[in-house]
Structure 1
Amino acid sequence: MKYGFATVAAAVPRVKVADTHYNILAIEEQIAIANSRGVELIVFPELSITGYSCQDLFHSQLLLEKAEDALMHLLDFSRKLDIISVVGMPVAVGDILLNCAVVVQQGVIIGIVPKTFLPNYGEFYEKRWFCSALDIHSQTIYIAGNPITITPEPKVFTTYDGLKFGIEICEDLWSPLPPSNNLTLAGADIIVNLSASDELIGKHQYLRQLISQQSARTLSAYVYSSCGFGESTQDVVYGGNAIIAENGRMLFESERFCKEPQLGIAQIDIDRLRSERRSNTTFTLAQRTASAVDIKTRQPEEMTEFRLVRDIDPTPFIPKSDDMKHSCEEILNIQTSGLAKRLDHTGCKHVVVGISGGLDSTLALLVCVRTFDYLSLDRKGIHGITMPGFGTTDRTHLNAVNLMESLGVTVHEISIAKSVTQHFEDIGHDSAKHDVTYENSQARERTQILMDMANRVGGLVVGTGDLSELALGWATYNGDHMSMYGVNASIPKTLIRHLVRYVADNDVDAQSRLTLLDIIDTPISPELIPADENGNISQKTEDLVGPYELHDFFLYHYLRFGYRPAKLFLMATVAFDGHDPSVSAYDHDTIKHWLKTFFRRFFAQQFKRSCLPDGPKVGSVSLSPRGDWRMPSDASCCLWLEEIDSLK
Structure 2
Amino acid sequence: MPNLITVATCSLNQWSLDFDGNLERILESIRIAKDRGAKLRIGPELEITGYGCQDHFLEGDTHLHAWEVLAKIIESEEAQDMVVDVGMPVAHKNVIYNCRIIIHNRRILLIRPKMWLANDGNYRELRWFTPWAKHRQTEEFYLPRMIAEITGQTTVTFGDAVVSTGDTCIGVEMCEELFTPGAPHIDQSLDGVEIFTNSSGSHHELRKLSTRIELIKEATLKAGGIYLYANQQGCDGDRLYYDGCSFICLNGKVIAQGSQFSLNDIEVVTATVDIQEVRAHRSSSSRSIQASRTSPYERVRAETRLSSDKAGDLLEWEVTKPGEFKYNTPEEEIALGPACWLWDYLRRSRTQGYFVPLSGGIDSCATATIVYSMCLQVSKAAAEGNLQVIADARRIAGEPEGSDYLPTDPREFCGRIFHTCYMGTENSSIETRKRAKDLAEAIGSYHVDLNMDTVITSIRTLFLFVTNKKPEFRAHGGSNAENLALQNIQARLRMLLAYLFAQLLPWVRGKVGGLLVLGSANVDESLRGYLTKYDCSSADVNPIGAISKTDLKSFIAYAQLAFNLPVLEEFLEAVPTAELEPITEDYVQADEADMGMTYDELSVYGRLRKNEKLGPYGMFTKLVSEWGHRLSPVEIAEKVKLFFFEYARNRHKMTTLTPSYHAEAYSPDDNRFDLRPFLYPSRFPWQFRKIDAMAAALPDRSKSIKAKRE
TM range (shorter): 0.3 to 0.5
Q: So what's the TM-score if we normalise by structure 1?
A: 0.47
TM-score, length of structure 2 as denominator length: 0.43
